[in-house]
Amino acid sequence: MKPLKTILLIDDDETTNYLNHRLLTRMEIADDIRVVTNGEEALDYLTKSFQGQEGYPTPDLIFVDIKMSVMDGFEFLEEYEKLEGAQKDRIVMLMLTSSASFYDLEKLKQFPDVRRHYSKPLAEADVREILQEYF
Protein backbone atom coordinates (compact mmCIF):
# COMPACT_ATOMS: atom_id res chain seq x y z
CA MET A 1 0.00 0.00 0.00
CA LYS A 2 1.28 3.45 -0.93
CA PRO A 3 1.09 5.80 2.05
CA LEU A 4 1.00 8.99 -0.04
CA LYS A 5 -1.18 10.14 -2.89
CA THR A 6 0.96 12.96 -4.30
CA ILE A 7 4.52 14.25 -3.89
CA LEU A 8 5.63 17.58 -5.37
CA LEU A 9 9.30 18.06 -6.25
CA ILE A 10 10.37 21.70 -6.73
CA ASP A 11 13.86 21.90 -8.22
CA ASP A 12 15.42 23.38 -11.35
CA ASP A 13 18.10 20.71 -11.61
CA GLU A 14 17.06 18.03 -14.10
CA THR A 15 19.51 15.45 -12.80
CA THR A 16 18.31 15.85 -9.21
CA ASN A 17 14.68 15.63 -10.31
CA TYR A 18 15.43 12.50 -12.31
CA LEU A 19 17.26 10.82 -9.40
CA ASN A 20 14.64 11.78 -6.80
CA HIS A 21 11.73 10.81 -9.05
CA ARG A 22 13.38 7.47 -9.85
CA LEU A 23 14.05 6.70 -6.18
CA LEU A 24 10.53 7.64 -5.05
CA THR A 25 8.99 5.64 -7.90
CA ARG A 26 11.15 2.59 -7.16
CA MET A 27 10.20 2.75 -3.48
CA GLU A 28 6.51 2.95 -4.47
CA ILE A 29 5.62 5.47 -1.76
CA ALA A 30 3.21 7.63 -3.77
CA ASP A 31 0.57 7.22 -6.45
CA ASP A 32 1.68 10.42 -8.19
CA ILE A 33 4.97 12.36 -8.27
CA ARG A 34 4.82 15.84 -9.80
CA VAL A 35 7.84 17.93 -10.77
CA VAL A 36 8.02 21.69 -11.23
CA THR A 37 11.23 23.57 -11.91
CA ASN A 38 10.86 26.79 -9.93
CA GLY A 39 8.93 28.48 -7.16
CA GLU A 40 6.56 30.30 -9.54
CA GLU A 41 5.46 27.03 -11.12
CA ALA A 42 5.02 25.53 -7.66
CA LEU A 43 2.85 28.44 -6.47
CA ASP A 44 0.74 28.19 -9.62
CA TYR A 45 0.31 24.44 -9.07
CA LEU A 46 -0.59 24.88 -5.38
CA THR A 47 -3.02 27.73 -6.06
CA LYS A 48 -4.88 25.54 -8.55
CA SER A 49 -4.73 22.63 -6.13
CA PHE A 50 -6.13 24.62 -3.20
CA GLN A 51 -8.93 25.89 -5.48
CA GLY A 52 -9.84 22.29 -6.24
CA GLN A 53 -8.97 22.38 -9.93
CA GLU A 54 -9.04 18.98 -11.55
CA GLY A 55 -5.62 17.57 -12.37
CA TYR A 56 -3.91 19.35 -9.48
CA PRO A 57 -4.06 17.02 -6.47
CA THR A 58 -2.89 18.54 -3.20
CA PRO A 59 0.52 17.09 -2.33
CA ASP A 60 1.01 15.20 0.90
CA LEU A 61 4.73 15.94 0.73
CA ILE A 62 6.70 18.78 -0.89
CA PHE A 63 10.45 18.82 -1.44
CA VAL A 64 11.75 22.29 -2.30
CA ASP A 65 15.27 23.28 -3.32
CA ILE A 66 16.87 26.47 -1.99
CA LYS A 67 18.90 27.57 -5.02
CA MET A 68 16.71 27.90 -8.13
CA SER A 69 16.38 30.32 -11.00
CA VAL A 70 13.21 32.40 -11.56
CA MET A 71 12.07 32.09 -7.92
CA ASP A 72 14.31 30.42 -5.36
CA GLY A 73 13.23 28.31 -2.42
CA PHE A 74 13.18 31.16 0.09
CA GLU A 75 11.11 33.39 -2.21
CA PHE A 76 8.74 30.46 -2.73
CA LEU A 77 8.41 29.95 1.03
CA GLU A 78 7.65 33.64 1.57
CA GLU A 79 4.82 33.43 -0.97
CA TYR A 80 3.65 30.03 0.27
CA GLU A 81 3.07 31.52 3.72
CA LYS A 82 0.55 33.92 2.13
CA LEU A 83 -1.48 31.15 0.48
CA GLU A 84 -4.86 30.41 2.01
CA GLY A 85 -6.12 26.88 2.29
CA ALA A 86 -6.98 24.32 4.91
CA GLN A 87 -4.94 21.84 2.86
CA LYS A 88 -1.71 23.53 3.99
CA ASP A 89 -2.09 21.99 7.46
CA ARG A 90 -1.69 18.47 6.13
CA ILE A 91 1.24 19.11 3.77
CA VAL A 92 4.69 18.11 4.95
CA MET A 93 7.25 20.55 3.52
CA LEU A 94 10.93 19.58 3.45
CA MET A 95 13.88 21.48 2.05
CA LEU A 96 16.31 19.71 -0.26
CA THR A 97 19.63 21.39 -0.72
CA SER A 98 23.17 20.89 -1.87
CA SER A 99 24.04 23.99 0.14
CA ALA A 100 25.67 23.48 3.50
CA SER A 101 25.72 27.23 4.02
CA PHE A 102 25.25 28.22 7.64
CA TYR A 103 23.34 31.28 6.42
CA ASP A 104 20.86 29.16 4.43
CA LEU A 105 20.29 26.72 7.27
CA GLU A 106 19.78 29.58 9.74
CA LYS A 107 17.39 31.34 7.37
CA LEU A 108 15.32 28.14 7.12
CA LYS A 109 14.42 28.57 10.79
CA GLN A 110 12.28 31.58 9.78
CA PHE A 111 9.88 29.28 7.92
CA PRO A 112 7.81 27.13 10.27
CA ASP A 113 6.22 25.31 7.32
CA VAL A 114 9.57 23.63 6.62
CA ARG A 115 9.93 20.68 8.95
CA ARG A 116 13.52 19.79 8.10
CA HIS A 117 16.21 19.90 5.43
CA TYR A 118 17.90 17.06 3.60
CA SER A 119 20.92 16.94 1.32
CA LYS A 120 20.19 16.20 -2.29
CA PRO A 121 19.70 13.91 -3.94
CA LEU A 122 17.51 11.90 -1.61
CA ALA A 123 18.74 8.57 -0.31
CA GLU A 124 16.56 5.57 0.42
CA ALA A 125 17.33 5.92 4.15
CA ASP A 126 16.09 9.55 4.02
CA VAL A 127 12.81 8.49 2.46
CA ARG A 128 12.26 5.74 5.03
CA GLU A 129 12.99 8.22 7.83
CA ILE A 130 10.56 10.77 6.36
CA LEU A 131 7.79 8.19 6.05
CA GLN A 132 8.34 6.98 9.60
CA GLU A 133 8.52 10.45 11.12
CA TYR A 134 5.72 12.24 9.24
CA PHE A 135 3.38 9.56 7.91
Domain containing residue 93: CATH number = 3.40.50.2300
Q: Is residue 23 part of a domain?
A: yes
If pLDDT is split at 50, 70 and 90, which confidence band does 20 have?
Answer: very high
Asked if 33 and 21 touch (Cβ cutoff 8 Å), the reply is yes
- Parent domain of 120: 6-134
Residue 40 has pLDDT above 90, yes or no: yes
CA distances from 40 to 23, 46, 85 (A): 25, 10, 18
Q: Is residue 1 part of a domain?
A: no
If pLDDT is split at 50, 70 and 90, which confidence band does 99 have?
Answer: low
Query: What does the pLDDT read at residue 1?
Result: 53
CA distances from 23 to 11, 34, 96 (A): 15, 13, 14
Q: How many domains does the chain have?
A: 1
